[in-house]
Structure formats: structure tokens, C-alpha cells
Amino acid sequence: MIASVAASSVAVESSDRQLRGSRNAYVALALGLVFFIFTIWYQVYADTRKEAETCTDPFLQSHRQWRLRTAFLFMMWSILAGFCVPFGFAVLVFVPVYLWFVYRLLRGLIYFALRRVI
């Protein structure tokens, strides 16, 4: 009986820690609107740790994949926009990418707050 209560409290603590980590990852993603490099670094750190990789909760896994895809694609499109600077149309590439990033961030946060799988 005592062992099952202890195991249950450890599982709840682990789940709470994973939930806080996921919430913090969304905050870092939001900071990426201003601090681009910080976001990419934190996404890789937060979402590729051994603890994140062993998570079996489909809710947390879907949000982890959502954040990683968002950060990676934003980075790739931003690099493309950087290559367009000498040609004078980088703004035409970066503005839609920036708006897309805001959309992905808000959609992920809303789904996360509603506890829905993306």
C-alpha cells in the first residue's frame, strides 16, 4: 500500500515537472520573437532532453513536436530571408514568416491552455 502511494506521488511529480517544462518552452518560443538565437537554443535543450524524449503523454508529445517544428522552420525561413537581403526583397520573405511564427505560437498556446492535442 505504501509503495503504491509513493509510486503514485512520484508519477504525479514527474507529470507536473513535464507540464512546467512544456509551459516554459512556450515562453521561450514567445521570446524568440525578440531573441531569435535564444529560442532555438532553448527549444533544442528543452525538447531533446532525455526526460522529454521518454514522455509517453500524447498531449505533451504533440506540443513538443509542434514547438520543435515551429522553431526549426522559423530558423530555416529566417536564414532564407537573410540570403535575400542583398537582393532587396528580404522583407517580403521575413514578414510572412514572422506572422506565421506568431500564428503557430498563439495556436500552440491556446491548445496547450485548453489541454488539447495539436
Q: pLDDT per residue over 24-76, tens digit each?
A: 777 777 776 666 666 666 766 776 776 666 778 888 888 888 888 888 888 88
Q: How far apart are CA 81 and CA 94, in angstroms?
A: 6
Q: Specify if 19 maps to a domain.
A: yes
For 33, the domain range is: 2-113
Grid cell digits, residue 23? 509551459
Torsion, Cα of 28, 75, 77, 91 (10° steps): 60
Q: Specify if 118 maps to a domain.
A: no
pLDDT at 31: 73
Task: Cell 506521488: give the residue.
Answer: 9
Q: Specify if 75 maps to a domain.
A: yes
Task: Cell 525578440: give the residue.
Answer: 34
Grid cell digits, residue 5? 502511494
Which has the closest alpha carbon to 101: 41, 19, 35? 35
Instruction: Give the number of domains in the chain.
Output: 1
pLDDT at 10: 53
Grid cell digits, residue 97? 514568416
Query: To 5 degrees, how large is the angle CA 54–CA 48–CA 97?
Result: 130
Say how many CA atoms lie within 13 Å of 72 toward its Cβ: 8
More confident residue, 107 or 25: 107
Q: Specify if 10 maps to a domain.
A: yes
pLDDT at 50: 66
Give the model's confidence band at 11: pLDDT under 50 very low, under 70 low, under 90 confident, else very high: low
pLDDT at 5: 46
